[in-house]
Structure 1
Amino acid sequence: MTAMSDSGRFSSVDYEIHGSVQGVFFRQYTLDKAQSTGVVGWVMNTEAGTVKGTFQGTKFQVDEMKHFVSKVGSPMSQITRAVFTNERELVQKDYERFSVSGGDW
């Protein structure tokens, strides 16, 4: 494999979104965007009033989702801060689909 090839490589990132992101369909819009983008992973509400989760896919797909959750969100959300951690390269994805987890605080 050459350095220019991304074949067989995936990106993964954990995220936590702060602001007015609960009770405004943020998780549903994230699910819809993830499914249309082709990433796998999950999203959930937290007791702290944030939304967190994991995205996995190609670097392009993950970057598209990072932009979505940090700048777009749902129409009624107000995003004040996005924290991305644990960015890494994967040979194989850990998830088969994108899901919304519990945490309806």
Structure 2
Amino acid sequence: MPRRRMIVEGRVQGVCFRVECRREAQALGLAGWVRNRADGTVEAVFEGTAAQVEAMAAWMRHGPPQAEVDRVETVEERSEGLTGFAIR
């Protein structure tokens, strides 16, 4: 099962990015988590089918309407078999 870690830069904190990310991930049936980082970025991990993960990656490139995404770093990883989706 594909797993992708994404770090999103820009105006991504204080704009409901994590809440909307969780909502989108749950709607897609993904497992994983999302969190704010001290450097002002948002980090998220997604596990699911290739199509689910790619759909989420596309959403992360723009985020919710209030966000301004400047850059997205993506790393493919080995699946851990996560269940559910959490805000950390």
Is 1:95 aligned with 2:82?
yes
Structure 2: which 5+ residue stretches go unaligned? none
Q: Which has the larger radius of gyration?
A: 1
Which contiguous aligned blocks of 4+ residues in structure 1 show a shift greater than 3 angstroms? none
> Cα deviations across residues 3-37 of structure 1 (Å, max 9, x unaligned)?
xxxxxxx1001110000000000001100000000
* 2:65 corresponds to which of 71, 75, 78: 75
Structure 1: which 5+ residue stretches go unaligned? 1-9
2:19 corresponding residue in structure 1: 28
The TM-score, its normalising length taken from structure 2, stands at 0.94
Give the CA deviation at 1:74: 1.0
What is the alpha-carbon distance in structure 2 between the residues aligned to residue 65 and residue 96 of structure 1? 16
- State the superposition RMSD in angstroms: 1.1
* 1:66 corresponds to which of 47, 57, 71: 57
Q: Percent identity?
A: 32
The TM-score, its normalising length taken from structure 1, stands at 0.80
